[in-house]
Amino acid sequence: MDFRKVFDRIPEEFDRWRPRYCQALFDDVTAAAGLAPGKTVLEIGPGTGQATEPILKTGCDYTAIELGEHLTAFMREKFDRYKNFSIVNDDFETHDFGKETFDLVYSAAAIQWIPEKTAFSKTYEMLKPGGVLAMFLTRSEYQSSDPALYDRIHEVYSEYFHPEQNYTCRLAYENAQDYGFTPLERREYHAQRILTADEYAAFSATHCDHIVLEEPYRTKFFDGLRKAVRDAGDRIVFNDTFVLYLTRKP
């Protein structure tokens, strides 16, 4: 199973429930790349655009490459009003960009799906001298907010979460330096989300290995998540950390 493609099944749910990144992160990316009209930008795997509009608003010449057909259509409907927006429905790993180069290549929780050598070598080649590679992701935890709820949810996972294939995708972002990028800087930003039981179940259903969970486990799993949160006051608090990696082609 190619987990990269399962998000294409749920564009509306993905757009509604995936967390947005904070403005401070976009301000730092914009400043690092000097984004303005005339600057060229490529976003890898935008999904439904959780990290798109703040970049578009700089007036840069924005291009996205998105593997999912339905996600691409969703992006076009959402952002076609911007004259500086364009998107390609193709696989970044195999797409031929010709001699096109960019001032900024960035990815919000998508570049980790690409094998390291391809991810870093290809982005390096596509950047102009001095161009910036920005990679960011969200790390969320709720244990510190309610340890008892955390334990109950993990009991639900132990009992009912048995997908046919587990998510094992990882990328060592620091290894960008092995492919010519320098220097590498890591920044963090923090936010909080509070979800009801139904909202938490809907959000959880947008994770790749949760999307493909089948019966007889699926119904009991999501019912178990809802019950756990309802029993805890119908409230689960997520502490989100947005991690940004910034590096540059000399």
220-237: pLDDT as tens digits: 999 999 999 999 999 999
What six digits make up the tokens of 178? Answer: 């092995």
Query: pLDDT at position 137, please?
Result: 96
Distance of alpha carbon 75 from alpha carbon 97, whole angstroms = 20
H or E element at residue 47: none
Query: pLDDT at position 90, please?
Result: 98
- Mean pLDDT (the chain) is 96
What six digits make up the tokens of 142? Answer: 């709720």
Query: pLDDT at position 177, please?
Result: 97
Confidence of residue 29 (pLDDT cuts 50, 70, 90): very high
CB of 5 closer than 8 Å to CB of 11:
no
Strand partners, 243: 137, 188
Other CB atoms within a 10 A radius of the CB of residue 49 amount to 23
The length of the chain, given as a count of residues: 250
Mean pLDDT within 101-115: 96
Phi then psi for 237, rounded to 5 degrees?
Answer: -110, 120
DSSP string across 69-85: HHHHHHHHHHHTTSTTE
Q: Which domains does the chain have, with CATH numbers?
A: 3-141+167-193+241-248 (3.40.50.150)
Residues above pLDDT 70, as percent of the chain: 98
Mean pLDDT within 154-181: 91
Distance of alpha carbon 113 from alpha carbon 64, whole angstroms = 16
Confidence of residue 164 (pLDDT cuts 50, 70, 90): confident
Q: The pTM is what?
A: 0.95
Mean pLDDT within 102-121: 96
